[in-house]
A = this chain, B = another copy of it.
Amino acid sequence: MFEPTIKDIAKICGVGVSTVSRAINDHPDINSETKEKIMNAIREYGYVPNDSARNLKRVDAKAIAVLVKGIANPFFTSMITVIEQECKKRHYAMELSHIEADENEVDVAQKVVKEKRLRGIIFLGGLFSHSEEKIKKLSVPFVFSTVGSIPENISKKLYSSISVDDRRESARMVNYLIGLGHTKIAILVAEAQEESVGKLRLEGYCDALKVHGIEVNPKLICQTKDELSHFSMENGYLTTKNLLERKEKFTALYAVSDVLAIGARRALYEAGLRVPEDVSLAGYDGLDMADYTVPSLTTMRQPVEEMAKDTTRLLFDVIAKRTKHQHITYEAELLIRESTAKIPE
């Protein structure tokens, strides 16, 4: 079947290709009658500009990329949805790419940016193995927005970030549990490596215990298994089962992610432990899901929508050079629900 190009449209309308180009790109230097005539022909013949040709010619491809590590976490799904909407508003395309566990995200970024001539990158994920040297090598007009932990070893001038102070908010949650009378608090932690959210949230947990003079009991610190997706219900479930086998007494369980908490809930249930009567359960993230479980889950809500919107806005601002790189920190909101309760006397 016949696929019209800009030349065909030009011929049909008896004008030059540049005129058609002006028409479709809303250039001012064009007669309104001519433009209308062209637009009609375009509609009639179903002409759609070829994106590759456009991006090849344009200095600026109107597109950004979102790189996600750990798509399994619904928290990121929500963020992506909002980011996509924001891009659409600005008539930008959004390229979505997953980063596998064994890939380096800056390398992937490098490749994607060159391949597609993108204007910017948003990183989504809790753990990044950035190195300053690699980031400097990212040649193209580039914005590096990270959601989650902020790499400490890199000059803040090189990237923007959007994050919640995981360590502080995590401590806040544990403080709340301690306030309820709990002292034997177990923690379910994912990816407790350098610069990861897991590590920060674990540190917050330790901070809170120390402030209250409670000794950190290593037997109550449970790390998720590497073989599985770190933030998955299955991992939460299995890790909790593992914890229960240790026979170490605890009255509260704090999972550093809602998904983990939901898996944990199941494991507790199967072990015959009631929530919150026998064990108080707390999550982190504030997923919609956490509000519909039975019992509903006490959690730290991260302002997803706001964060996603700001990420996008910031990215476009930096691209347009309206602003320098910024680092925004959000407050999380402690949502107290049914899964946590005072420890019985």
* A residues lining the B interface (CB < 8 Å): 1-3, 46, 48-56, 61, 71, 74, 77, 81, 84, 96, 98, 110-111, 114-117, 137, 139-140, 232-234, 237, 262-263, 265-266, 269, 288-289, 291-294, 296
Contacts and interface: CB of A to CB of B under 8 A. Distances in A.
Contacts of A49: 115
Contact of A50 (B51, B115, B288): B115
A240 to B, nearest CB: 11
A115 B51 contact: yes
A56 B46 contact: no
A288 B228 CA distance: 14
Given A50-B56, A50-B114, A114-B50, A139 B292 contact: no
Contacts of A110: 46, 48
Contacts of A1: 139-140
Contacts of A116: 51-52
Contact of A84 (B46, B98, B232): B98
Contacts of A81: 71
B117 A50 contact: yes
For A52, A77, A114, which residue has the most chain B Cβ atoms within 10 angstroms? A52
Given A1-B139, A81-B71, A84-B98, A48 B111 contact: yes
B56 A292 contact: no
B294 A294 contact: yes
Contact of A233 (B2, B262, B292): B292
In the A-B complex, list the 5 residue pairs whose CB atoms are closest, starting with the nearest. A1-B139, A48-B114, A52-B55, A52-B56, A51-B115
Contact of A292 (B46, B111, B263): B263
21 contacts: A1-B139, A46-B110, A48-B110, A48-B111, A48-B114, A50-B115, A52-B54, A52-B55, A52-B56, A71-B81, A74-B74, A233-B289, A262-B292, A263-B292, A265-B292, A265-B294, A266-B291, A266-B293, A266-B294, A269-B294, A293-B294
A206 to B, nearest CB: 28
Contact of A3 (B2, B55, B114): B114
A234 B291 CA distance: 9
Nearest to A1: B139
A292 B268 CA distance: 11
A126 to B, nearest CB: 19
Given A50-B115, A55-B52, A233-B288, A140 B3 contact: yes
Contacts of A263: 292
A215 B265 CA distance: 39
